[in-house]
Structure 1
Amino acid sequence: MRDLSVRFRTYGGHVHALRQINLHIARGETLAIVGESGSGKSVTSQAIMGLLPTSTAQITSGTITFDGRELTTLKPAQWREIQGRRIALIFQDPMTALNPTLTIGEQMTEGVRRHMKYSADQAKARAIQMLELVGISSPQQRLKQFPHEFSGGMRQRIVIAIALMCDPDLLIADEPTTALDVTIQAQILALFRQIQARTGVAIILITHDLGVVAGVADRVTVMYAGQCVETAEVHALFAQPAHPYTRALLASVPRLDMPAASLKAIAGQPPDLFAPPDGCAFAARCRHAMRICHQITPPATALPDDGSVRCWLHDARAPQAARRM
C-alpha cells in the first residue's frame, strides 16, 4: 500500500479517513495495525478487500498492489475473483458475520463451490477439515447446526474456518478477539499461530489491544487520525517506541507490576478529520510538540529493521533535548 488516501462524502463535507498510508506485508508474516477508535484501521482493511462503499468512499491517491496486481483499478467482477479466494477477511463480530437462517455447512461451502468449483461432497470434506483445524469437535454433525447453537468463541472459530476455506494468501483479522473473554482470546491467538505455521498465510491483525499484538505480531504499524505514525518490529516497538503517541499508548496499558495510580490517560481528543491539521495530527496532544509540529506534516524517518516514524523529533535538525523525549 503506497501513499493511499481515502475520503468519505457526507452531508457535512468530506471525511479524510486515510491520509498517505504506506504498508507492506510479506508471505508468512503477521503485521498488526493498532490505534484508538477512528484511527482508520477498519477502513484500511476495507480498502484492501475492495469493500469500500462506492456511493460514498473515494480513493483520492495511492496504490494497493497484491502479488504484483494493482487492486484500486479492478472492476467488481475482478474483485470477486480475489475476495474470499486470495484475500479473506475475518469480521469483527461473529454474531453478525454469520447468517442466522443458514446452517454452518451452507455458509462454509458457498465460497469453495463458487471459487474452486468443488462438488458438494468435496466442499463438505473441506469444511470438515477446516472445522477440525480450528478445534471444533464432531465437525460432521456441526455442519448441520445453526449459528445460535454455538457459543461466542465457537462462532469466532467458525468465522475463521470460513475465511480459510479457499486457502487464501492473505488473511485480514479485524478485531477478532474483542468480544471474547481472555481464555478464549488466548485460544484464538494460539490458533492463528498454528494456522500460519501450517499454511504460510500472511496475516494482518487489526486491534486496539497491545497485549494481543505482543503475542502474535512480527511487525506493528501504529495509526493515528488516518495516518501511519510508526512502523517497527514488535520487540523494538515495545522496548523503544519512537513516536510520542506510541509511548502514550503503551503508558496507558495496565500492567501487573505497576500501581494503579501510575496509569496515564492521553489528554485531549483526536483531530477533526473533516479538516485535518496542517502539521502533525498528534501535536495538540503531545507534550514534546515544537512550532514546526503545528505547521508541517512530518515526513517518514527510517528506523532500524525496516521501521519508520513520522515525527519531527527524529529529524536531524531537531534539538538534542527534544529528541530525548
Structure 2
Amino acid sequence: MENVLEVKDLHVTFTTYGGTVKAVRGVTFDLHKGETLAIVGESGCGKSVTAQSIMRLIPIPPGKITAGSILFKRQDLTKMKEPQMRNIRGADISMIFQDPMTALNPTLTIGDQIMEGIIRHHNVSTVAAKKTALEMMDLVGIPSPHVRLKQYPHQFSGGMRQRIMIAMALVCQPEVLIADEPTTALDVTIQAQILELFKDIQQKTGVSIILITHDLGVVAQVADRIAVMYAGKIVEAGTRRNIFYNPQHPYTKGLLNSVPRLDQAGADLIPIPGSPPDLFSPPAGCPFAARCDYAMEVCDKVYPFQTRLNREHQVDCWLQDERARKLLTSAR
C-alpha cells in the first residue's frame, strides 16, 4: 500500500528551567493513502507533539526536533526552511486543532477565514474563493452557507465551529489531515455527527487522516490502524482488529480495561495504577515497567526489542521474548 507520510525515529525535546523534557523518543510510523491512523494514549504521552512536529509547529525554542525524519513526497519536512513549510501547511498537510473557539479568529468572519487559505495557496480571485468556501461549508453540513459565511465564530455552536475548522482544513484539498482531539469539547451526539462527517469526507476526497485522541470509543468507529503511545514511544501498533481483539502490550490491555462496558452488566472499571514516568529523565528500560503487573528485572534495565506479530501488528514488550513465554508457561 502506498505511503503518503513516513515518520522515522522522531525525537523531540523541550528545554526548560528544570531541564530537558524528552517528549517524543524515537517514534516511527507510516500513513497509507486513504486510511485513518489513530494515535492513542493518555495525556502527556507525546501525541500532540508528534502531530505538531509533522506540521513543524513546535515553538523553537524551547522545542527542537533533535533526530529523525518526516518524509512527505520524498521530501524531509524536518530539513525544510520555513517558507517551504508555509507552502505545504494548509495546502498538502492540514490540521484541525483541539479547541475551535481558540483556533478561530474572533475578529474575522467565517468566510474570510476559510477563503484565506484558498487565496494564499491557489492564487485565485475573491469571487472564486468565495464559491469554493460555500461548497466546502455545504460539504461539512453547515446550513444556509450564504448567510453563515458573513457571521463570526461566536455566532456558531461548538459543533458548528468544529465543522468550520474541518472546512478550513480541507478547503485546499490536502493529502494529509491531522485531527488533534477533534471531539474532546463536544457532547456525544455532536461527536457522533463529526465522526460520521470524517468518514463521509474521506470517502469523497480520499484524504489520509491522522487522528490524535485518548478516546478509544472514537477510535473504534473510524480508525483503520492504531498506534498506542506511552511516555514518548509507540509501544504497540496494528489494525483496529489487532488492537481491540488481540492486544499484546500490558499498557494497551490496561487502556481497554479502563473503558466503560455497556455490554456487561455490573462490569467494573479497572484503572491503571501509578503514574507515567518523568520525561526529564525517562527510564532506560520499558517506561511502563513501574505500573506493569508482569514486569521482570530486564524490563527496568533494557528497552524491549520490537516484535512483529504479523505484517501490521507490532509490539515493544519483553513478554514476547521466548524466554519470558517459557517462564509464564511454567508458572501456570
Correspondence 1:197 to 2:203: yes
* CA distance in structure 2 between the aligned counterparts of 1:180 and 1:157, rounded to whole angstroms: 11
| 2:53 paired residue among 47, 51, 64 | 47
Gaps of 5+ in 2: 1-6
* CA distance in structure 2 between the aligned counterparts of 1:245 and 1:321, rounded to whole angstroms: 20
Gaps of 5+ in 1: none
Match of 2:294 in 1: 288
Match of 1:250 in 2: 256
TM-score by length of 1: 0.98
- Within 5 Å, which residues of 2 pair with 1:288-307? 288-307=294-313
Match of 1:175 in 2: 181
Aligned residues: 325
1:12-47 deviation digits (Å, cap 9, x = unpaired):
010000001011111101000000000000000000
Correspondence 1:118 to 2:124: yes
Match of 2:100 in 1: 94
TM-score by length of 2: 0.96
- Within 5 Å, which residues of 2 pair with 1:211-230? 211-230=217-236
* CA distance in structure 2 between the aligned counterparts of 1:238 and 1:205, rounded to whole angstroms: 17
Name the aligned partner's letter for residue 87 of structure 2.
E
CA-atom RMSD, angstroms? 1.3
* CA distance in structure 2 between the aligned counterparts of 1:181 and 1:194, rounded to whole angstroms: 20
Alpha-carbon contact 1:288-1:322 (below 8 Å) kept: no
Segments of 4+ moved more than 4 angstroms = none
| 1:137 paired residue among 138, 143, 155 | 143
SS at match of 1:318: helix
Alpha-carbon contact 2:242-2:313 (below 8 Å) kept: no
What is the deviation of 1:58? 1.4
Alpha-carbon contact 2:306-2:314 (below 8 Å) kept: yes
Alpha-carbon contact 2:13-2:20 (below 8 Å) kept: yes
| 2:18 paired residue among 12, 20, 44 | 12
Match of 1:279 in 2: 285
Change (3 A) 1:123 1:230: same
1:265-291 deviation digits (Å, cap 9, x = unpaired):
100000000000010000000000111
What is the deviation of 1:317? 2.9
Alpha-carbon contact 2:228-2:237 (below 8 Å) kept: yes
> Percent same amino acid at aligned positions?
59
What is the deviation of 1:236? 1.5
